[in-house]
């Protein structure tokens, strides 16, 4: 899933396009039975705190925030589907 995009028109991105891209990606993933960890939805309520201004990238604190969610999702997937 794509992360939230920067707000600058200079980078060729349009605010809100990430929502369309994420919806399309989610549809494809559902169709193929792929589990999704929606980091965009996870970070969105705190985007101003964690994303660099006018940039698609996150601060070090933001990357750590996202990494914790990724690790939790991986651990949950492993617990739900243990390899025998």
| Predicted local distance difference test score (pLDDT) of residue 60 | 98
Domain that holds residue 42: 9-80
Query: Is 4 a domain residue?
Result: no
2 confidence band (pLDDT: 50, 70, 90): low
Dump pLDDT digits (tens) for 44-80.
999 999 999 988 899 999 999 999 999 999 999 999 8
Cβ-proximal residues to 72 (8 Å cutoff; 6+ apart), any chain:
none
Q: What DSSP letter does each residue of 36-73 carry, written as one string? A: ---HHHHHGGGHHHHBPTTSSSB-HHHHHHHHHHHHHH
Tell whether the model's pLDDT for residue 27 goes beyond 80: yes
Domain-embedded: residue 2: no
Per the structure, the count of domains in the chain is: 1
The pTM of this model reads 0.75
Structure token pair of residue 3: 């992360």
| % of residues, the chain, pLDDT over 70 | 86
Instruction: For residue 3, tell me if it sits in a domain.
Output: no
């Amino acid at each position: 899933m794509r992360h939230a995009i920067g707000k600058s028109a200079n980078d060729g991105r349009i605010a809100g396009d990430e929502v369309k891209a994420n919806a399309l990606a989610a549809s494809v993933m559902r169709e193929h039975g792929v589990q999704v960890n929606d980091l965009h939805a996870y970070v969105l309520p705190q985007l101003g705190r964690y994303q660099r201004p006018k940039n698609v990238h996150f601060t070090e604190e933001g990357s750590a925030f996202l990494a914790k969610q990724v690790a939790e999702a991986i651990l949950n997937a492993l617990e739900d589907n243990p390899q025998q």
